Amino acid sequence: MSRMVTIYDTTLRDGCQAEDIALTIEDKLRITERLDSMGVHYVEGGWPGSNPRDEAYFKEVQGLKLKSIRVAAFGSTRRAGTRASEDRNVAKLVRTGTPVVTIFGKTWDLHVRDDLRIPLEENLDLIHDTVRYLKKHVDEVIFDAEHFFDGFRNNREYALRCLAAAVDGGADLLCLCETNGGRLPDEVAEGVDAAVEATGAAIGIHCHNDSDLAVANTLAAVKRGACHVQGTINGFGERCGNVNLVSVIANLQLKMGMKVLSDANLRRLQDLSTFVYELANIEPNKRQPFVGRSAFAHKGGVHVAAVQRNALTYEHIDPTIVGNVQRVLVSDLSGRANLIYKAKQFGIDLDGLNSHVRKLVDEVKELEHKGYQFEGAEASLELRMQRVLGEVPHFFDLVQFRVVDEKGYMRRVFEGDGSFAIASDEAFEHDPATAWAAVMLAGPGGEVEHTAAEGNGPVNALDKALRRGLVRFYPGIEEVQLRDYKVRVLGGEQGSAAQVRVLIESGDAHERWGTVGVSVNVIEASWQALVDSFEYKLFKDRRRSKKSGAKKRRKTAKKTARGKVGRLAAR
């Protein structure tokens, strides 16, 4: 039977100490519920003695209908010169009503002398007295041995005496903290061995990532007998962060055979990671192991050819186990295998495409040389493939467009042919950063539509004007939402004359898609990406309509056939 390791999440406390991370009480409650649904064993809600927000969390969390997760309050040992029963912060820990209280205490003699400025023996009494008092009032007390591995390295005997003081006070678990993040895996292993031998207690591990070794150090500790892991989702935390629980959970379960989550919940690991990124308002790390968008992405033609035959050639696990997917990227490094793979993904008839693959490979390489990038613009790539097969009808033609960007008394006019005109008019006054666009286009029957729109920027105005013109012919365009817009300067040495690449992410009720445009003019590049975005929407709607119509015809045919059979039987 595999060994059990409990997971203790401190995203709501230690994770919030990270730069740029600020979770509201509502955010914290939602994360608590998500962790509970995942089967995580503990959640540390915060330090009730440090700020009103954490105190409010402990009141609100009592109203949640949690299934199994144990909520922990966090604090420190009592102050020197007072008893635990008289310490206000210790009393606040008890008043939270949580079943678990985690307190940290100093185990590095340097901290006792230079930070607390008390005798070493008095620090032992702080630990013992606080743990003993808390154990009388709460179900479970966890002692976080702060800076244990640094303390163990500099004064082995004293660090172990600190652990003994916590055990004598009744601590249920000793969590050894690699607080500065500077120790190596063999040092962590040695410290865990010594703690297990000296105390016989249940041991946990809490690592920081200052040397980029937090996951390695955590796994080394578990290998030596630690049965409890503290960390944060996505590795949020002070300085370089805490150990990333997402990576730890996956490694423990998939590489070390230790049961942490159910298989069903393990498949939700990517969703959990993304959920916490979203609440923290942080862009997900696409290169994050196991759950990142690039974790199972293949670009080189040799790699793609190999994974098509056997995914194990370049993938250490099946990505679906952790809720991820295999992706193949198309670029100037691509070969035939990449395009064939993408064609399958797009549902394209490979027999019909086969004679065009070489041409498409050459075209993609040439376009990428010019600055196009299809890794984030797969809709633009699919449209090119479908056009080769004649599957994309002629939706509309651009007759001309004009974009005017105005500030104060000056007007900057962009013509559809790429030229600019500057005009001044003392009688013409607008608020700064006003823009409008006019678009003239011909619909599927050749009928011309002329529209204009104002926006809070030239691209926004162009988007509105084009959308307004197309809605007359294609009402479904109203469903399109622009989700993201990115501009990348290519060849920065040319300064403002350099080419730019515009990536647009759009979406509707069914899906999200990315498109790309490249030009020396940011408005022209934006126009290319916008046109691709709307044409992709129209193409997909047309395909869905065809499928829906075919399905209805099949149903009608079946119903008609059943009716005929019934009438014949009646005769």
DSSP 525-556: HHHHHHHHHHHHHHHHHHHHHHHHHHHHHHHH
| pLDDT in the model for residue 350 | 62
CA distance 477 to 465: 12
Contacts of 545 (CB under 8 A, 6+ apart): none
CA 463: distance to chain centroid? 28
CA distance 378 to 362: 17
- Going by C-alpha positions, the residue among 51, 52, 102, 112 that lies closest to residue 75 is 102
Q: How confident is the model at residue 430 (pLDDT cuts 50, 70, 90)?
A: very low
Pairing outcome for strands 70-76 and 42-46: parallel
| pLDDT in the model for residue 427 | 45
pLDDT in tens, 146-156: 999 999 999 99
Q: DSSP letters of 188-211?
A: HHHHHHHHHHHH---EEEEEB-TT
Among 30-34, 493-497, 518-522, the range scoring the smallest mean pLDDT is 493-497
Alpha helices by DSSP H, 76-184: 88-95, 109-111, 120-135, 148-154, 156-169
Contact 176, 206 (CB under 8 A): yes
| pLDDT in the model for residue 570 | 60
Helix, strand, coil % in the chain, rounded to nearest 5: 50, 20, 30
Instruction: For residues 452-479, give the mean pLDDT.
Output: 92
Helices (H) and strands (E) in the chain, counts: 19, 18
CA distance 44 to 23: 14
Q: Where are the domains of the chain?
A: 6-261, 297-388, 396-473
pLDDT in tens, 164-197: 999 999 999 999 999 999 999 999 999 999 999 9
Contacts of 329 (CB under 8 A, 6+ apart): 297, 298, 299, 338, 374, 375
> What are the two backbone dihedrals, phi and then psi, of residue 483, each rounded to the nearest 5 degrees?
-90, -35
Contact 415, 402 (CB under 8 A): yes
CA atoms within 13 A on the CB side of 300: 4
- Going by C-alpha positions, the residue among 202, 231, 207 that lies closest to residue 220 is 207
Q: Is residue 198 scored above 70 in pLDDT? A: yes
pLDDT in tens, 278-312: 899 888 898 999 999 889 988 776 787 788 788 88
Alpha helices by DSSP H, 403-521: 458-471
| pLDDT in the model for residue 309 | 82
Pairing outcome for strands 410-415 and 397-408: antiparallel
Could you tell me the strand order of the sheet in which 430-442 lies?
A: 420-424, 410-415, 397-408, 430-442, 448-455
Q: Is residue 3 scored above 90 in pLDDT? A: no
CATH code given to domain 6-261 = 3.20.20.70
| pLDDT in the model for residue 550 | 62
**In one letter, which amino acid is 556?**
T
Q: Please name the helix (run of DSSP H) or strand (run of DSSP E) that holds residue 298, with its range, or none.
A: strand 297-298
Q: How confident is the model at residue 409 (pLDDT cuts 50, 70, 90)?
A: low
Pairing outcome for strands 430-442 and 448-455: antiparallel
Q: Is residue 425 scored above 60 in pLDDT? A: no
Q: Is residue 332 scored above 70 in pLDDT? A: no
Mean pLDDT of the chain: 88
Pairing outcome for strands 6-9 and 430-442: unpaired
| pLDDT in the model for residue 336 | 65
Among 34-38, 150-154, 347-351, 464-468, the range scoring the smallest mean pLDDT is 347-351
| pLDDT in the model for residue 302 | 79
Instruction: Tell me the CA distances in angstroms from 202 to 23, 143, 176, 285, 323, one per residue in order.
Output: 32, 11, 11, 34, 32
pLDDT in tens, 49-101: 788 889 999 999 999 999 999 999 999 999 999 999 999 999 999 999 999 99
Q: Is residue 333 scored above 60 in pLDDT? A: no
| pLDDT in the model for residue 546 | 78
User: Whole-model pTM?
Assistant: 0.70
Instruction: For residues 429-442, give the mean pLDDT.
Output: 78
Instruction: For residues 394-401, give the mean pLDDT.
Output: 91
CA distance 205 to 144: 9
Q: How confident is the model at residue 276 (pLDDT cuts 50, 70, 90)?
A: very high
Q: How confident is the model at residue 424 (pLDDT cuts 50, 70, 90)?
A: low
CA distance 26 to 486: 30
pLDDT in tens, 214-262: 999 999 999 999 999 999 999 999 999 999 999 999 999 999 999 999 9
pLDDT in tens, 499-530: 888 999 998 888 889 899 999 999 999 999 99
CA distance 375 to 379: 10
Q: Is residue 1 scored above 50 in pLDDT? A: no
Q: How many CB atoms lie within 10 A of CB 354?
A: 12
CA distance 109 to 156: 10
CA distance 10 to 30: 14
Highest mean pLDDT pick, 210-214, 306-310, 547-551: 210-214
Instruction: For residues 9-19, give the mean pLDDT.
Output: 97
| pLDDT in the model for residue 343 | 73
